[in-house]
Each structure stands twice: as C-alpha cells, then as structure tokens.
Amino acid sequence: MINFKNIFLGSKHIILYGLLMAILVFALKWLQWKFLIVDNALEIYVGLIAVFFTILGVWVATQLVKPKIQTLIVEKEVYITQSGEFTIDETELKKLSLSSREYEMLQLLAKGYSNSDIGENLFLSLSTVKTHISNLFTKMEVKSRTQAIAKAKRLKIIR
C-alpha cells in the first residue's frame, strides 16, 4: 500500500522547509534594510544557532519519539463452500438478449428434448421450433444443441 503521507513528508516537506528558511532569511534581510537596525554578525550568528538547534531538535526527536503505529488491515479470505444453492447468472443471461421463446427452447434442450418433443410440449410446429433454436444458436454463438447446453451451463443461465 502506498503511503502518501510519507511521500509528501519525505520530499516535498523538506523542500518546503528549505524554501521557508530561505524566505525567512530574505524577510530578515528586508526587515534589516527597512529599519536600518543593522548588525550583520548577529544575524548570521542567530541563523547558525537556528540551523544548529533545528538539527539538534530533529536528532533528539528521532532518538526519543516513539514510532508512530499505522494499522494496516489485511483481509484474509476464508473460503466457505456453499452447498447446492444454484442461482441463475442474470447478467450473463441479459447479455445474450434471448427472447422468451428462445430461452424456453434452451431449457427444454438441456432436458434432452428433441425438436419434435419440444413442438409437442409447447404445441408448436417442428418448423417453429427449428426457427427458434436456430436463432438461439446464432445469439449464443454455437453450432449445435450440445454446445448450447454446455455453454448455458458454463454461463449458469440454466439449472
């Protein structure tokens, strides 16, 4: 996991700090100019003191400050075998955009019905059954009823 905070503090922070120091120096210089209260030696001295004690502060802190604790939550996947409960994959089913008759054909196909069986069951002519099944195959991109059954089961669109 990327720690944005570290990146921020690791590089930009230091740059920012340096810049602020530079600005401070210039600000002091400007103030010095403006108020003509001049004591260059003192400014340099104070600046060195500042830098030194800043570094000292950092060093002291790194030696004494307790390390921060960041909690990283890791999800461990526990697999639970769910017995039997079959659910139709509605997403996959909608993708195919089958008509109701076509889906009906598919269900009966999977039951092992022949074309004439289906016709007799749904009171349709053999021609009609063939037409529906042919269209079904086109939509499912298969070439035979057995392929249709295999694919339908794989996609979980029939039980």
Partner DNA sequence: AAACCTTTCATACTAAAGTACCGGTTTGGC
Partner DNA sequence: GCCAAACCGGTACTTTAGTATGAAAGGTTT
**Residues within the interface to DNA (CB under 7 A):** 97, 99-102, 114-116, 122-128, 130-135, 137, 143-146
Q: Which does 107 bind (CB under 5 to 8 A by kind): DNA, a copy of itself, none?
A: none
Backbone angles phi, psi at 93, to 5 degrees: -65, -40
CA distances to 18, 41, 58 from 54, rounded to whole Å, are 12, 20, 6
Q: Which is nearer to DNA, 32 or 135 (CB)?
A: 135
Q: Which does 133 bind (CB under 5 to 8 A by kind): a copy of itself, DNA, none?
A: DNA
Q: Which does 40 bind (CB under 5 to 8 A by kind): a copy of itself, DNA, none?
A: none
CA distances to 42, 50, 56, 66, 103 from 63, rounded to whole Å, are 31, 20, 11, 9, 72
Segment holding 41, helix H or strand E: helix 40-64
Q: Which does 41 bind (CB under 5 to 8 A by kind): a copy of itself, DNA, none?
A: none
Q: Which is nearer to DNA, 39 or 141 (CB)?
A: 141
Backbone angles phi, psi at 50, to 5 degrees: -60, -50
Site string for a copy of itself, 101-120 (x = CB under 8 A): --------xxxxxx------
Q: Is 70 in the site for a copy of itself (CB under 8 A)?
A: yes
Q: Which is nearer to a copy of itself, 2 or 97 (CB)?
A: 2
**In the window 81-100, what residues touch a copy of itself (CB under 8 A)?**
81-86
Q: Is 41 in the site for a copy of itself (CB under 8 A)?
A: no
Residue 139 identity (one-letter amino acid):
K
**Rounded distance, CA 138 to CA 127, Å?**
17
How many residues sit close enough to a copy of itself to count as binding (CB under 8 A)?
Answer: 83
**Rounded distance, CA 64 to CA 59, Å?**
9
